[in-house]
Structure 1
Amino acid sequence: MSKVNIELTEDQYKKLVESIFLGTWMVNSTRMELDEEFEDMREQVLSHYKEAGMEKEIVHQEEVGVHDLDVDYEAQLLDTYVEEYDEFSFWDKLVEKLAEKRMADEYGTIETPLTEEMMQKRMEIEEEIGKKLEETGVTRLEFKE
């Protein structure tokens, strides 16, 4: 197997570390068992931390033979990127699911792929629901039994 060598500045390496952490977190955060290929890639990248002067951000856990982000650095990345992503995707997914429900209520079972007319209708419903949620948040949502 051929190898690829990449030269990075310290700043580029730091962005690579952040990208690897966030990507691995995304892949493994919902799994019962870790994706070992992602974990191996993460380990490969993090193992070069001393070359980039990241001794404060990355620690080597000798007893288990792995590298990890310092807990404060990890928390900073989660706060900076994951919280914002979660917030955005929550609202985006909520609008999408509420639109799907309304479409099913109004039109019954909808065949996929959607026709252009149904796509347009769905976009209109999503826009309407999105505007309402922007105005009221979840305060006016309710479940009827």
Structure 2
Amino acid sequence: MEIKCTKEEFKVLLDLVYAGNLLINGMREVDERIAPHAELEQKIFAMAKEFGLEDYIEFDEEFKEYMPTRAYENSEINDYIDAYEDKVFWEELVVRMARRQALNELGDENPDMTNAELRNRQIELEEYYEDEFIENGIYHLKWIKPEIQSEEEAKAKAKREQ
């Protein structure tokens, strides 16, 4: 592979390839990686020395592959990745909590709610949760441990409720 660019441009390419492959393969075991992405990352990593970026990428003899150095992982790329993960965390938390509450209301309070009403209620709740998390973070969240019953206890409880 031949790439014609400056050292600065190659560093940007390195960042993009690293972050992209982290997103695609970061949560996978080695034998489960999506090969084309992992292989291209290795090709780009192998070129780092040619562009004077050997402080960022090194060949690991134990794993027989190129890997980011601690210096690279502690560089600004980590700030970008952390910011992305933080944003995704809060957005997913807001959407999932709003969806759960809207569905609970559908089941418990308004079983005749239409799909449009459900979606509108979810959007209202997303706004509420977003404001709540901006103001308080996770401070007000509490884990309510579900009651775990044996099969016999569940049958006895159901019988009592009849």
Residue equivalent to 2:7: 10
Residue equivalent to 1:123: 123
Residue 117 of structure 1: how far off its partner (Å): 4.6
Residue equivalent to 2:56: 57
Query: Which string of whole-angstrom CA distances, capped at 9 and with x for unpartnered residues, describes residues 96-119 of structure 1?
Result: 11101111111139xxxx955543
Quick one: structure 1 residues 62 and 101, their matched pair in 2 at CA, closer, same or farther if it must change by over 3 Å?
Answer: closer
Query: Which string of whole-angstrom CA distances, capped at 9 and with x for unpartnered residues, describes residues 5-46 of structure 1?
Result: 653222111111111111111122211232222221011112
Query: Which string of whole-angstrom CA distances, capped at 9 and with x for unpartnered residues, describes residues 66-101 of structure 1?
Result: 322222212335631222222211111111111011
Identical pairs, percent: 23
2:35 maps to 1:36: yes
Superposition map of 1:64-75 within 5 A: 65-75=64-74
2:23 maps to 1:26: yes
Q: Which moved more, 1:131-140 or 1:65-74?
A: 65-74
Q: Which TM-score applies when normalising by structure 1?
A: 0.79
Unaligned ranges ≥5, structure 1? none
C-alpha distance in 1 between matches for 2:102 and 2:61: 55
Q: Report runs of 4+ in structure 1 exceeding 4 Å deviation.
A: 62-65, 114-117
User: Which of 1 and 2 has greater Rg?
Assistant: 2
Q: Which TM-score applies when normalising by structure 2?
A: 0.72
C-alpha distance in 2 between matches for 1:51 and 1:21: 17
Unaligned ranges ≥5, structure 2? 109-113, 146-162
C-alpha distance in 2 between matches for 1:29 and 1:100: 28
C-alpha distance in 2 between matches for 1:64 and 1:138: 39
C-alpha distance in 1 between matches for 2:142 and 2:62: 51
